[in-house]
Amino acid sequence: MQFRHEIKHEISNLDMLILRQRLRAVMMPDSYAKGGRYEIRSLYFDNQDDKALREKLDGVSIREKYRIRLYNNDPSVIHLERKFKRGGLGYKDSALLTQEQARQIAGGEIRWMADSTDEVILGFYIRLRNEGLGAKVIVDYTREPFVFGPGNVRVTMDYNIRTALRCTDFLNPDCVTIPVPGSPCILEVKWDNYLPDVIRDMVQLGDRHSTAFSKYAACRMYD
Give pLDDT, residue 209. 57
Return all residues near 135 (Cβ < 8 A) that are at least 6 apart.
Answer: 43, 44, 45, 105, 106, 107, 108, 168, 170
Q: Which tens digit of pLDDT belongs to each residue from 188-205? A: 999 999 999 999 998 887
Tell me the pLDDT tens digit for each residue of 128-178: 999 999 999 999 999 999 999 999 999 999 999 999 877 899 998 888 899
Residue type, 97: L
Number of other CB atoms surrounding residue 33 within 10 Å: 17
CA distances for 212 relative to 7, 79, 125, 203, 206, angstroms: 9, 24, 28, 17, 18
CA angle 191, 34, 181 (to 5 degrees): 70
Are the CB atoms for 45 and 66 separated by under 8 Å?
A: yes
pLDDT tier, 112 (very low <50, low <70, confident <90, very high otherwise): very high
User: Tell me, what's the pLDDT at 184?
Assistant: 86
Provide the mean pLDDT of the chain.
90
Confidence of residue 35 (pLDDT cuts 50, 70, 90): confident
Encode burial over 119-139: b for 16+ CB neighbours within 10 A, e otherwise.
ebbebbbebbeeeebebbbbb
Distances (CA, A) of 10 to 55, 132, 169: 20, 32, 29
Mean pLDDT on 28-47: 91
Provide Rg for the chain, Cα atoms. 18
DSSP 8-state symbol, 136? E
- Is the pLDDT reported for residue 221 higher than 80? no
104-118 average pLDDT score? 96
The pLDDT of residue 167 is 84
CA angle 161, 142, 68 (to 5 degrees): 80
pLDDT, residue 120, reads: 97
Decide yes or no: CATH 3.30.70.920 for domain 4-220.
no
**CA 66, CA 52: separation in Å to the nearest integer?**
10
| Coil, helix or strand at residue 104 | helix
Total length of the chain: 223
pLDDT of the residue at 210:
60
Residue 182: per-residue pLDDT? 80
pLDDT in tens, 54-98: 888 887 888 898 999 999 999 999 999 999 999 889 999 999 999
Tell me how crowded residue 214 is: count the other CB atoms within 10 A of its CB.
17
CA 187, 66, 217 angle in degrees (round to 5)? 50
- Range 99-126 average pLDDT: 96
